[in-house]
Structure 1
């Protein structure tokens, strides 16, 4: 077992049959108010029963030099997202998962009674086409993109947005997204914060 992690930390969260769950993955190094804003907006606008914060062992596309231990990041996510709809898990570590496509396969296989929506900040979508099996992800689960400062135009001109333009769900129909057959995606506008994990790490070093 990974150091500092319990069996509970490594389990896939429980949820009732037919519930709608948002999958929100990231390093969360560290988690901050911008992450919480994304999770809470997704919960409201997508009519989610829960958000699973998937705290990853490490993003293959990022430098791990400043990566805090997984147990510490998981605890920080639980402290930040303390509301009843939030569930933090490190189950990817138990399955030795490195890629989001594999995470989604496992979640769907282990919890076939749930409806899933993948949640991501707009800052992640511009590079989404570099993710392993990104088109499989798009075909597997509906996707909700949450606006982030400075990323609106680049997001909507991204390779993903162009390729899947005809599958975009109008924002006013976002509550139905989980019931749409993938590919299906929506872009949610709203209040934004410029806070980022890299800014917080710089402040800590300073």
Structure 2
């Protein structure tokens, strides 16, 4: 589920606790957690609802001024069902803490480097982890499409690979492009020393 930054901030503040989506089938289930720019959100309930059952109060709880605006913002389609999703803040994104963690031993750095090497070995397009870290280090805040072109890759597969690095706390997304996290800079320096 995607949210605007304004809605995310209102969820974090406790002003918004519902979302409405028109889906062919639910994209989330109760118990799902979503990592967002304001932390982790927990999905508490997912209920199919009829448009007539959506009130102005529901709309305000979802960040809209009224039900008409909420309903106008939904995807059209007779094959879609309207779902009400109940949300709550569930803590900080663990990747944020991981990105800042640079208190690593040489053995831990070796383990991370080995994990990156395994990712390279499994890749259908050859080794990419170090090259991608180097590219982001050299070109922070550059659009993903431009970085992908520099790497000679398609944008979406490139972004998918960057997300794998983000999961390990090595990169962070910016409004435009990416940058290495403190942990990512430390790991890249370690990998460089190993290959010198």
Q: Which protein shows a greater Rg? A: 2
Higher relative CO (Cα under 8 Å, sequence separation at least 6) belongs to: 1
The TM-score bracket by the shorter chain reads under 0.3
Q: Normalising by structure 1, what TM-score?
A: 0.23
Hey, which of these two has a bigger chunk of helix by percent? Answer: 2
Q: Normalising by structure 2, what TM-score?
A: 0.24
